């Protein structure tokens, strides 16, 4: 199969190359003096551009245009049908950040909800995934099978499983039933877990953690398995128990992985909103509205109101937030060496 | 210094100890059993949590609508295949299924072809502007999809591909660029440079080196990227929902959405449809998981 792909690329790229045969012939030539080296360098550069050309071409059409367009739209007012944009400078941004009595409350509520998600999801993911990987690393016999089972949430996450969650979170759904069976009937939610404004956001956070744990667990497991076992050995000889050696030796060594897990999940929970769009659509009321979802709504679900510019501006604010997070992450990584 | 010559057997000894020490340790046989039981319970409990929604999805798909509405038990009292058959026949599910397969396969193949070529250039070839281009693609990782969604729709209506499957495939491919380039460039960089030099001495050109040496050696990463593209594409909902209008072009997520937005949600048919959508992904994952796990691990180490 890989060979097939290779030849397909060869055919496609060969057409653009002009004279691929000469290039092929000279490919293996050893260096012959400064002039030859220069030619060699040029040829390699030509091949380099050729190999990235399809990616760049697609990016030029689907990326550059859309990004430039989206960015300029964030400074305008438009409803998608007006023949012209109504330029308003930074007003979209200032409106979103407190200036508009209509949009500021919406954004504020969504920002608070998003903040909860951005804090809770990464932390809980680490809190579940790290111990799970530790325990899984202890067993030898069923490790492969269990790892696959633990991967089911990651593999299946999408609209189908979101609907399955909706189904088991219903008033007479499986979660309430389970609580009754184990004698915690008082915790049942008669309106359903997503129907009660007080539990809806927390429930969504649980669902998000459920789908984020598999990758985090796998990353930790990889880290644990590449751990130098003599370190643990030394700690145990020094009389440290399992818990002690885990917290003082293993956990610090897993720091780089923790940073990656946190970063991935901060980004996803900052920008991702598919689960919210499908499962709650922000409701009940505005109890599960998040910034990504509000952006989508302003762009596509606000009928004829001229909110497309606002949607763009909100999206770019999210981009900025993600960049800040990435920057902080890089600083932290560097400090850890 | 003599310790260095001794070290391989000593290390082996430590490794052998390793297997015995934590088990015998300071605990007696009874303590060992207790620990094992706790470990077993924790592992089994999380396994149950992982598949819990999925179990109820399967359960509902084999129930009648009446039984689903009554709720209350996991195992269907009177398992039926009717729900499946009805869902499959009634809603042109086969067409939706084929549409989903088409979009997913084309997107995945394009991602693998376009970005493995680009990554080969980024990791192996020297050309001016390389670093800059590479960084540009990585920054894209942080551009929220929702920002470009609207411009994509407007652009596609100008290009007259809005509502077609290509109108989905092209943005999906472009959207996969950062992750694919990151992962594949890492994988190609870990291929020893001597192999390339040796092949060049034998007169092989770049295309040959790329397709015969680098691609096969980076197979785990390539398969990982294929899966990491295929799964989200199969499930994609945000762009699909706003661009597809003609029911003939619908993919599975939109079909599911249409079922859910009926006035009364029939959870048994909805779950049957969901199961039809999820099973191919699980099969795909099980087939490729050996590579997938290795590929992800390689990506982290790189």
Domain shared by B36 and B113, yes or no: no
Please write the tens of the pLDDT for every residue from A163-182: 999 988 988 788 888 888 88
pLDDT(B5) > 70: no
3-state SS, residue A190:
coil
**Mean pLDDT, range A215-226, rounded to an integer:** 85
Instruction: Give Cα separations from B148 to A68, A313, B171, B196, B284 (angstroms).
Output: 9, 12, 9, 39, 30
The answer to whether the Cβ–Cβ distance between B300 and A219 falls below 8 Å is yes
Q: What average pLDDT is seen over chain A?
A: 80
Domain shared by B43 and B150, yes or no: no
Of B17, B142, B148, the CB nearest to A323: B142
Query: Is B294 within the bounds of a domain?
Result: yes
Please write the tens of the pLDDT for every residue from B64-76: 777 777 776 777 7
B151 interaction partners in chain A (CB closer than 8 Å): 65-67, 69-70, 73
* Residue to test with chain A: of B3, B25, B47, B50, most A Cβ within 10 A: B50
Query: Is B58 within the bounds of a domain?
Result: no
* Residue to test with chain B: of A73, A155, A320, most B Cβ within 10 A: A155
Which residues 171-190 of A are in CB contact (within 8 Å) with B?
Answer: 172-174, 177
- CATH code, B192: 1.10.3720.10
Please write the tens of the pLDDT for every residue from A22-54: 333 344 444 455 667 888 888 888 999 999 999
For chain A, domains (ranges, CATH) are: 17-57 (no CATH), 105-335 (1.10.3720.10)
Domain shared by B45 and B109, yes or no: no
Domain shared by B132 and B16, yes or no: no
pLDDT(B118) > 90: yes
Which residues lie across from A87 on neighbouring strands? A76
Which residues lie across from A77 on neighbouring strands? A86
| Domain tally, chain B | 2
Which chain A residue's Cα is nearest to B270? A163
3-state SS, residue A46:
helix
Q: What average pLDDT is seen over chain B?
A: 81
A328 interaction partners in chain B (CB closer than 8 Å): none
The answer to whether the Cβ–Cβ distance between B271 and A163 falls below 8 Å is yes
**Mean pLDDT, range A53-75, rounded to an integer:** 87
Question: Do the beta carbons of residue B291 and residue A187 sit within 8 Å?
Answer: no
Domain shared by B96 and B232, yes or no: yes
User: Which of A147-151, A254-258, B64-68 has the least mean pLDDT?
Assistant: B64-68
pLDDT computed for residue A206 by the predictor: 95
Query: Is B81 within the bounds of a domain?
Result: no
Which residues 266-285 of B are in CB contact (within 8 Å) with A?
Answer: 267, 270-271, 273-275, 277-278, 281-282, 285
Which chain B residue's Cα is nearest to A177? B72
Which residues 103-122 of A are in CB contact (within 8 Å) with B?
Answer: none
Higher pLDDT, A113 or A63: A113
The answer to whether the Cβ–Cβ distance between B277 and A308 falls below 8 Å is no
pTM, to two decimals: 0.80
Query: Is B63 within the bounds of a domain?
Result: no
Instruction: Give Cα separations from A37 to A12, A44, A291, B125, B213 (angstroms).
Output: 28, 10, 54, 14, 24
User: Is B134 touching A (CB cutoff 8 A)?
Assistant: no
- CA-nearest of A140, A132, A131 to A243 is A131
Domain shared by B28 and B98, yes or no: no
Nearest CA to CA, how far is A226 from chain B (Å)? Answer: 10
Domain shared by B242 and B172, yes or no: yes
Domain shared by B34 and B111, yes or no: no
Higher pLDDT, B287 or B21: B287
CA B218 – CA B215 distance, rounded (Å): 5
The answer to whether the Cβ–Cβ distance between A158 and B277 falls below 8 Å is yes
CA A5 – CA A311 distance, rounded (Å): 40
The answer to whether the Cβ–Cβ distance between B114 and A326 falls below 8 Å is no
Domain shared by B192 and B256, yes or no: yes
User: Is B218 touching A (CB cutoff 8 A)?
Assistant: no
Query: Is B93 within the bounds of a domain?
Result: yes
> In degrees rounded to 5, what are phi and psi of residue A158?
160, -170
B174 interaction partners in chain A (CB closer than 8 Å): 58-59, 62-63
The answer to whether the Cβ–Cβ distance between B46 and A132 falls below 8 Å is yes
Domain shared by B107 and B173, yes or no: yes
Domain shared by B257 and B111, yes or no: yes
Domain of residue B37 covers 2-49
Which chain A residue's Cα is nearest to B236? A158
* Cis status, amide bond into A284, omega within 30 of 0: yes
Query: Is B99 within the bounds of a domain?
Result: yes
Please write the tens of the pLDDT for every residue from A76-91: 888 877 888 888 888 8
Please write the tens of the pLDDT for every residue from B255-277: 888 887 776 778 888 888 898 88
Domain shared by B40 and B123, yes or no: no
Query: Is B59 within the bounds of a domain?
Result: no
Question: Do the beta carbons of residue A318 and residue A291 sit within 8 Å?
Answer: yes
pLDDT computed for residue B302 by the predictor: 43
In degrees, rounded to 5, the angle at the alpha carbon of residue B229 between the alpha carbons of residues B193 and A123 is 95
The answer to whether the Cβ–Cβ distance between B296 and A218 falls below 8 Å is yes
Query: Is B154 within the bounds of a domain?
Result: yes
């Amino acid at each position: 199969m890989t060979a097939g792909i290779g030849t397909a690329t060869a055919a496609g790229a060969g057409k653009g190359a002009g004279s691929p045969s000469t290039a092929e012939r000279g490919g293996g030539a050893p260096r012959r003096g400064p002039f030859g080296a220069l030619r060699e360098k040029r040829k390699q550069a030509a091949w380099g551009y050729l190999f990235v050309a399809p990616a760049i071409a697609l990016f030029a059409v689907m990326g550059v245009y859309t990004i430039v367009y989206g960015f300029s739209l964030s400074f305008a007012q438009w409803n998608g049908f007006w023949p012209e944009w109504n330029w308003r400078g930074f007003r979209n941004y200032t409106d979103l950040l407190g200036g508009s009595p209509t949009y500021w409350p919406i954004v504020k509520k969504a920002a608070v909800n998003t903040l909860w998600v951005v804090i809770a999801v990464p932390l809980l993911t680490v809190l579940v995934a790290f111990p799970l990987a530790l325990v899984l690393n202890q067993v030898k016999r069923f490790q492969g099978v269990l790892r696959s089972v633990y991967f089911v949430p990651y593999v299946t996450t999408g609209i189908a499983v979101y609907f399955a969650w909706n189904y088991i979170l219903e008033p007479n759904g499986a979660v309430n039933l389970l609580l009754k069976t184990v004698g915690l009937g008082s915790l049942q939610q008669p309106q359903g877990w997503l129907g009660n404004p007080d539990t809806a956001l927390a429930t969504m956070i649980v669902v998000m953690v459920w789908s984020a744990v598999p990758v985090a667990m796998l990353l930790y497991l990889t880290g644990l398995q590449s751990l130098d076992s003599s370190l643990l050995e030394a700690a145990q000889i020094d009389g440290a128990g399992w818990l002690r050696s885990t917290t003082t030796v293993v956990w610090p060594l897993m720091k780089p992985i923790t940073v990656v897990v946190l970063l991935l999940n901060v980004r996803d929970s900052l920008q991702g909103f598919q689960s919210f769009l499908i499962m709650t659509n922000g409701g009940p009321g505005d109890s599960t509205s998040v910034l990504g979802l509000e952006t989508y709504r302003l762009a596509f679900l606000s009928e004829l109101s001229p909110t497309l510019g606002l949607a763009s501006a909100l999206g770019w604010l999210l981009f900025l937030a993600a960049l800040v997070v990435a920057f902080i992450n890089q600083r932290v990584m560097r400090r850890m060496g | 210094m003599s310790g260095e010559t001794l070290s391989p057997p000593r290390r082996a000894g430590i490794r052998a100890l390793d297997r015995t020490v934590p088990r015998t340790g300071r605990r007696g046989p009874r303590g060992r059993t207790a620990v094992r039981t706790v470990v077993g319970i924790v592992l089994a409990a999380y396994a149950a949590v992982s598949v819990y929604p999925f179990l109820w999805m399967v359960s509902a798909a084999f129930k009648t609508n009446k039984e689903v509405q009554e709720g209350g038990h996991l195992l269907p009292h009177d398992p039926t295949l009717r729900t499946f058959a009805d869902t499959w026949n009634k809603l042109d599910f086969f067409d939706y299924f084929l549409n989903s397969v088409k979009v997913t396969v084309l997107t995945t193949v394009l991602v693998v072809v376009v970005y493995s070529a680009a990554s080969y250039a980024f990791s192996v070839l020297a050309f001016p502007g390389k670093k800059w281009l590479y960084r540009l693609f990585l920054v894209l990782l942080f551009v929220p999809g929702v920002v470009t969604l609207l411009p994509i729709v407007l652009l596609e209506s100008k290009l007259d591909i809005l509502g077609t499957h290509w109108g989905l495939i092209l943005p999906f491919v472009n959207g996969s660029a950062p992750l694919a380039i990151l992962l594949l460039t890492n994988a190609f960089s870990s291929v020893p440079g001597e192999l390339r030099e040796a092949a060049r001495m034998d007169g092989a050109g770049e295309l040959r080196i790329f397709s015969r040496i680098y691609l096969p050696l980076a197979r785990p990463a390539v398969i990982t990227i294929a899966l990491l593209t295929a799964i989200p594409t199969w499930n994609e909902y945000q762009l699909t929902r706003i661009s597809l209008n003609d029911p003939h072009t619908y993919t599975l997520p939109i079909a599911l959405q249409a079922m859910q937005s009926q006035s009364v949600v029939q959870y048994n048919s909805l779950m049957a449809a969901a199961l039809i959508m999820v099973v191919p992904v699980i099969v795909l994952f099980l087939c490729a998981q050996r590579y997938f796990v290795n590929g992800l691990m390689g990506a982290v180490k790189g």
